[in-house]
Amino acid sequence: MTAKIFIDGEAGTTGLQIRERLAALDTVEVISIDDALRKDAGARKDMMRAADVAILCLPDDAAREAVALANELGSEAPRIIDASTAHRTAPDWAYGFAELEPDDLQAKRIANADRVANPGCYATGAIALLRPLIASGTFAADFPFTVNAVSGYTGGGKSMIANYESGTGPVFELYGLKLDHKHLPEVVAHTGLSQAPIFIPSVGNFAQGMLVSVPLQLGMLDKTPTLAELDKIFADFYAGARAVRYHGRGDDTVASRLTVDPAKGTDDMEIWLYGDDAKSQALLVARLDNLGKGAAGAAVQNLSLMLGLSA
């Protein structure tokens, strides 16, 4: 049976990327609203009524309005994947990061959910690096973590994309310097942290790709873990993960540099561990495509889980 998918906001960057990926699946049919009716509440409700799953690629307030429209349909409402920030910490929504827990526990929650909140791109990398450290008990929930990240400009919305594509965007910029980035609530909620890390995002003059890094002063802990112990934590946590590849000790597998380029166009995430036991220091790095595992790729992975397809 072919599942009908309505992408509310399919003309945006994430919506177009999702539609492109779904075109390769013969088990789904994308149904589209007439462009002249895309803001018509009645027409959108009709599309939702006809859909098995609605994927929301909308600003936060518009996403909340779309969910309200769906709720009015009662038993005729579609299942929903929301790519906005609106529901990422809502207790009645499944968080759409299938690798949040080992042994497919989160993947099963997503598969059985009627409401799934797609993670933020930065949050995907940060949570992937921090959650195993907290879940293992190696780091306390109140440890003063810092997270640094650089993304391609396609994660910044239409205005930023237009600036860069017209040649007026800066070569590199830090932002979120008020330490209040919108992804922080979900990072705290889904890592087990009791306080927000210091998170400094940045944008470079390239379209797609992302590096997220967490430096660790291991000597700050009462019991200093070795790199071998950290390596085992991550290897065990991501053993069998479908869309996260843990490469192990970075200094053993790659050169002393990591670039963004290999992440472009991929729907998975790679993780490396670097460090020096003598200095009691370590560095965790995640590489992903901000439009792939950081957005559209994650949405399609979640949709596949919800429809019982391979994910």
Catalytically active residues, by annotation: 121
Angle of helix 157-165 versus helix 13-22 axis, rounded to 10 = 90
- For 276, the token pair is 């020096």
Do 181 and 148 meet the contact criterion of CB atoms below 8 Å apart?
Answer: no
Do 204 and 153 meet the contact criterion of CB atoms below 8 Å apart?
Answer: yes
Distance CA 261, CA 170 (A): 19
Within 10 Å of residue 308's Cβ, how many Cβ atoms?
10
> Within its chain, how far is the Cα of 135 from the centroid?
19
3-state DSSP assignment of residue 193: coil
Q: Where are the beta strands (DSSP E) in 96-197?
A: 115-117, 146-151, 172-174
Minimal CA–CA distance to 303: which of 99, 1, 79? 79
3-state DSSP assignment of residue 11: coil
Do 208 and 154 meet the contact criterion of CB atoms below 8 Å apart?
Answer: yes
